[in-house]
Structure 1
Amino acid sequence: MAAASGIYQGQAGAHQGFGHKSLLQSDDLYQYILETSVYPREPEPMKELREMTARHPWNTMTTSADENQFLNMLLKLINAKKTMEIGVYTGYSLLATALALPQDGKILAMDVNREHYELGLPIIEKAGVAHKIDFREGPALPVLDQLVEDDKNHGTFDFIFVDADKNNYLNYHKRLIELVKVGGLIGYDNTLWNGSVAAPVDAPLPEYLIYYRQFVLELNKALAVDPRIEICMLSVGDGITLCRRIK
């Protein structure tokens, strides 16, 4: 689940309200990024799905437009062909991935809510990339356990994007590190968690931020010392940590 920005304001200042996910201190600067870099190059299906998702009452769960542009380019740079996405919502980031993959590329996509996925599915189908997606409804952990049990699946995924229940991020990592190939990437979304990861323990935060913050902090600490990966935490969207498996 992605989240809206602007909850924790800190001494350096931050956004007011729920305008967007970026942790940039200036709304005008973020809008400049969108209007200069993202929107002029945005494929029509991405625009259509972004605008449709923005009208949904749970739209704070979606990834940001600049993050999806980044992911799309990243997948092309690493020549990804076999990927996985945990947490789909309406399929906005899923579409960014599908558009980046070759025609025979595949995405194993998992979400507990098929209804949300089916909201975006007509747009994904119109974009001509639905054949790349293997959607599974339900919790991801049982599917991952099944994959890990078969040695043939080990080290076969080029890229894995995780944007689901934060309380399971470490459980996912224990399994995904076996499934991603050496040199492949895992991306964990929301690792700055509205900036709350740097907030004082007693900072006045909404309950959902407080509850999940500890899980995000635990993940960040674990990734920082995991010798099997190189990491790069980026302040794109609500924070994304890229993990490159090195052994």
Structure 2
Amino acid sequence: MDKISKPSVSPNPVILQSEGLLKYILETSVYPREEETLKELRNATTNHPLGFMGTAPDAGQLMVLFLKLLNAKKTIEVGVFTGYSLLLTALNIPHDGKITAVDPDRKAYELGIPFIKKAGLLHKIDYIESPALPVLDKLLEDPANEGTFDFAFVDADKNNYWNYHERLIKLIKIGGIVAYDNTLWGGTVALPEIAVLESKREWRRSTLAFNKAISNDSRLEIAHVSIGDGLTICRRVS
């Protein structure tokens, strides 16, 4: 009789990082629970020349849990692209919830508008076509906005992540969450710079600096999660 081998105590890191495992997670736990309009928008986004920039659906599934645990009603999104994470948020906040969504590229957002309309959720979104820093500064000009947002999601220019953070940490309530996407930058953060394509080096350096700064921010509790392209979840505690 063949002996049944016991699993290794330390899982094989190659298996943990494999595309096959990601495929298994997506097909088993993510895609079957994905809202139909989200699925349609995700598929439409693959036809965009920069379709790889769309929010990873497994990261989106995690965001849904946070939105529901927070009973989030007022959120902000920095970087919209075609609107997958925007639609996901709109689906999971109350009917009278509001999302302030900021992105200078309305053309990409227009790809997602028909799907948001189909879901009947356009009324929840205040889209502002603009770079984010002036919008965040404008919000902070009114002290009544401080500490009033439940949740924020950032998927924008990495060299400005810390600038966004310094503003968002004032806008998010204590106990609220800010999630930053792409904080592993294709895994390059774990490589020596010489092994990284020159085109990726500048934002890799920005990501490394941001990750270090966020780790040292005593105003937060954080979890740096290896999901999608890296998601850093920050809970404001002071």
Q: Does the pair score TM above 0.5?
A: yes
Partner of 1:220: 211
* Aligned-residue offset at 1:207: 2.6
Letter in 2 for 1:165: D
Aligned to 2:69: 77
Match of 1:56 in 2: 48
**Structure 2: stretches of 5+ with no match in the other structure:** 1-12
> How many percent of aligned residue pairs carry the same amino acid?
59
Secondary structure, counterpart of 1:211 in structure 2? helix
Equivalence for 1:86 = 78
**Alignment root-mean-square deviation, CA:** 1.2
Q: Counterpart in 1 of 2:224? A: 233
Please give the alpha-carbon distance, in whole angstroms, between the structure 1 residues aligned to 2:48 and 2:54.
10
What is the CA distance between 1:69 and its match in structure 2?
A: 1.4
Return the alpha-carbon distance in structure 2 between the equivalents of residues 124 and 207 of structure 1. 37
- Deviation sequence 1:53-103 (CA, Å, 0-9, x none): 011111011111111111122201111000000000000111111101010
Q: State the partner residue of 2:152.
A: 160
TM-score by length of 2: 0.92
Q: Aligned residue for 1:245?
A: 236
- Supply the AA of the counterpart residue of 1:78: L
1:180 equivalent in structure 2? 172
Deviation at 1:29, TM superposition (A): 1.1
Runs of 4+ aligned residues of structure 1 deviating over 6 Å after TM superposition are none
Other-structure match for 1:102: 94
CA contact (8 A) 2:193 2:201 kept: no
* 2:9 aligned partner: none
Match of residue 198 from structure 1: 190
Q: Residue type matched to 1:171 in 2?
A: N
C-alpha offsets along residues 210-231 of structure 1, whole Å, 9 cap, x if unaligned?
A: 1101111111111111111111
1:126 corresponds to which letter in structure 2?
K
Deviation, 1:129, is 1.0
Taking the aligned partners of 1:67 and 1:202, their CA distance within structure 2 comes to: 29
CA distance in 1, matches of 2:62, 2:199: 27
Q: Quick check: 1:112–1:137 contact (8 Å CA) kept in 2? A: yes
Q: What 5-or-longer segments of structure 1 have no aligned partner?
A: 1-11, 15-23
**2:127 is matched by which residue type in structure 1?**
F
Note the alpha carbon deviations across 1:96-138, whole angstroms, 9 max, x for none.
1110101011000011100110111010010011110000001
CA distance in 2: counterparts of 1:137 and 1:70, whole angstroms: 27
> TM (normalized to structure 1)?
0.89
Q: 1:13 Cα deviation (Å)?
A: 5.7
Separation in 2, partners of 1:183, 1:52? 35
Per chain length, whose mean CA-contact separation is higher, i.e. which structure has more relative contact order (CA < 8 Å, sep 6+)?
1
2:38 counterpart of 1:46: yes
The structure with the largest alpha-carbon Rg is: 2
| Separation of aligned partners in 1, 2:110 and 2:77 | 16
1:177 & 1:119 partners in 2: Cα distance?
Answer: 30
In 2, the alpha carbon distance for the partners of 1:217 and 1:85 equals 22
* Deviation digits for residues 144-166 of structure 1 (CA, Å, limit 9, x no counterpart): 11111211000000000000000
Q: Aligned-pair distance for 1:201?
A: 2.8
Whole-Å separation in 1 of the counterparts to 2:224 and 2:129: 29
Which residues in structure 2 correspond to 1:130-145 (within 5 Å)? 130-145=122-137
